Structure formats: C-alpha cells, structure tokens
Amino acid sequence: MTGFVLSDLNRRLLDRINILQLGGFKKYLKNTLWLVFGKLSKLSISLVVAVWVARYLGPVQYGMYNYAFSFVALFIPIASLGLNQLIVKELVKNHNNSNLILGTSFALRFLGALIAIFVIILLSLFFEETQSFYLIAIISLIIVLQSFNIIDLFCQSHVESSYVVKADFIVTIVIGITKIVLVLLKAQLIFFAWALVLENLFLSIAYIFIYRVNLQLELRDWNFKFGFAKSLFLQSWPLMFAGLVISIYMKIDQIMIKNIVSSYEVGQYAAAVKVSEIWYFLPMLITASLFPSIIKSREVSDELYKKRMGMLYAFMFWLAAFIAIIVTLNSSTIIA
C-alpha cells in the first residue's frame, strides 16, 4: 500500500514537471521572444535617433546631456531600493496577495524616489554650474515616474510582457519623432532633457492603461502595510547596495571625465560607449523573463531547478561569446 502511494506521488510529480517543461517552456519562450523583439525594435529606432541627436548637439552639448543623465543614474538604485527581483519573486510565490505587494512596493519606491531627487538636487546645487544643474534637476524627474515600473514587473511575473512591449514600442516611436522635430527646429539642449521626462511620463500612463484596461485590474485596490514594507526593505537593502555599486561602476567614468577634462571628451566617450552597452539588454531580458519559471521549478524539485539554472548559464555563456566574437571581428565597420 505504501509503495502504491509513493508510486502515485512520483507519477504526479513527474506529470507536474512535464507540464512545467513543455507547456510552461513554450509560454516563457514566447514571453522572452516578445521582450527581445521589443528591445531590438526599440534599440534600432533609438540608435538612429541617437546618432541624429548626437550629431546635431555636437560633442560639447551631447557630453553635457550624458553627464547629467549619468549623474542622475547614480541614484536610481536608491530610488528602486533593490526591489525589482524581490517584487517578481513575491508576486510569483504569493499571487493572491498581489494588491498588497504592489501597493507596498509602490509606496516604498515612491518614497525612495523622493529621497533620491532631494539628494540629487542638493548635491548638484552646490557642485554644478547653472546649465548642468537645470539639466540634472529636469532629468531627475524620471526617477519618480519610474515608480510605475512595478506594473511591468507584475506583467513579468504573470508572463504577460507582450502588452508592455507594444506600449514601449509606441512610446519609442512617438519620442523618436519628437526628438527629430526638435533637431529640425534647432531646439536648445534643455528641450531634449524634457523629451526624456516626457518619454517616462508616457510609459507610466501606458503602464496604468495596461493594468486597468488589458488586465482589467484597479490601482485603487492596492494597499499598504508597514510590517510588510519593513520585511521587504530588510530583504532588499543588500540588493540596493549592490545596484548602487554597479551604477557607480557603470556611470562614474563619464562623471570623472567631465570633471577632469571637459564636456567635449564626455561627448566623444559617450558615443563610443553606446556601441558596447547596446548588448546589455539581452542578459537582463532573458533572466527577467525566465526568473518566474526558475522560482516555480525550485518549488517542484531541486533537480528541475538545477537543470534549468544549468541551461540558463550555458545559454548565456555561448550567447556572450558569439556576440563578443562578432563585434570584435567587425568593430571597424560598426564604429564607422
């Protein structure tokens, strides 16, 4: 009798694994393809527009723009509080408490954004010249608007990224056209900073639209609990610190070049860096899309979890090697 029960349990476990491996794999693959398609489309449009804008602004103004963005980007991890992966994990494991998770996470990120903006404006007020201060102050507004990115995380946890990809693509086209119009009108640098804010504002509106119309859910159902907020923060602060270190590593070079040399050199350097940074989206997209699947596989069995992690690592390694070889062999053509 005991053997029969164990056999039945093993059979059901295998059935569950097969479902996750077949049906689940197709769902996550489709979601990943949507993300990759969206990012490739966005990058293609953004690259064309960025080249146009860079040539119009010239090395000095383009350098000032990238310096201001890099300065703000240093503080984005403080605003996000390292919650991104934690939110997806909580939504996957406790999908019935999504309103509590989203409401509490939004409140934490909004508070973090306000603190980050205060620090940014305070530092730039004392250490930056007038034009840089205004650019930094305007661009810092994107930090508050990015609080609504938790809706994107909600879609990731439910493997429904197609809505976000479509919205992101439309916003990219609109903002791309806006920047081209600014170039044709010979607009001042500050208007390009406002265009960046406008892009994040449109994305926030699109996320709210997706949540209410496509997913048929309401933001007013979100709720906040101090105890849960404390628990999230205690788990996320090491991730926030790690994100801050990565942000410093990624952006400090442009800030140093501006303060040591000039905005002209920052403009030249920023244009070259984009060629290498253009590929960074791939590992982030793949891991973000497959993260819910990995979390679920851990609940099924350690064997399935290790198998999926091994497949992910192998795929990421060979993808990176392939890109590195292609870019290295064709670097002269790409730069030209």
Per-residue model confidence as pLDDT tens digits over 241-299: 888 888 888 778 888 888 787 777 887 777 777 777 777 777 777 776 677 777 778 77
What distances in angstroms separate CA 92 from CA 16, 304, 315, one per listed residue?
17, 17, 24
Confidence of residue 198 (pLDDT cuts 50, 70, 90): very high
| Cα–Cα dist 60/264, whole Å | 4
Burial of 1 (0-12, 13-18, 19+ CB in 10 A): exposed
Assigned token pair, 230: 């404390």
| Cα–Cα dist 22/19, whole Å | 5
The separation between CA 39 and the C-alpha centre of its own chain, rounded to angstroms, equals: 11
pLDDT tens per residue across span 39-79: 677 777 777 888 888 889 888 888 888 889 888 988 888 88
CB 240 within 8 A of CB 77: yes
| Cα–Cα dist 129/262, whole Å | 13
| Cα–Cα dist 259/62, whole Å | 15
Write b or e for each residue in 118-138: b if 16 or more Cβ atoms lie within 10 A of its Cβ, otherwise e: eebeeebeeebeeebbbbbbb
Angle at 219 between CA 217 and CA 225, to 5 degrees: 120
Assigned token pair, 207: 């996320």
| Cα–Cα dist 166/216, whole Å | 17
pLDDT for 105 beyond 60: yes
pLDDT for 36 beyond 70: no
DSSP for 248-260 reads HHHHHHHHHHHHH
Q: What is the per-residue pLDDT for 150? A: 87
Q: What one-character DSSP code corresponds to residue 262? A: -
| Cα–Cα dist 254/265, whole Å | 9
Question: In this structure, what are the phi and psi dihedrals at residue 11, rounded to the nearest 5 degrees?
Answer: -65, -45
3-state secondary structure of 128: coil
Q: What is the per-residue pLDDT for 217? A: 86
CB 175 within 8 A of CB 199: yes
Q: What is the per-residue pLDDT for 323? A: 86
Per-residue pLDDT, averaged over 186-196, amounts to 93
Residue position matching structure tokens 């244009």: 271
Per-residue pLDDT, averaged over 225-252, amounts to 83
Comparing CA positions, the residue from 305, 18, 20, 291 lying closest to residue 158 is 291
3-state secondary structure of 230: helix
The pTM (predicted TM-score) of the whole model is 0.72
The separation between CA 165 and the C-alpha centre of its own chain, rounded to angstroms, equals: 12
Comparing CA positions, the residue from 321, 27, 43, 49 lying closest to residue 169 is 43
CB 149 within 8 A of CB 207: yes
CB 152 within 8 A of CB 106: no
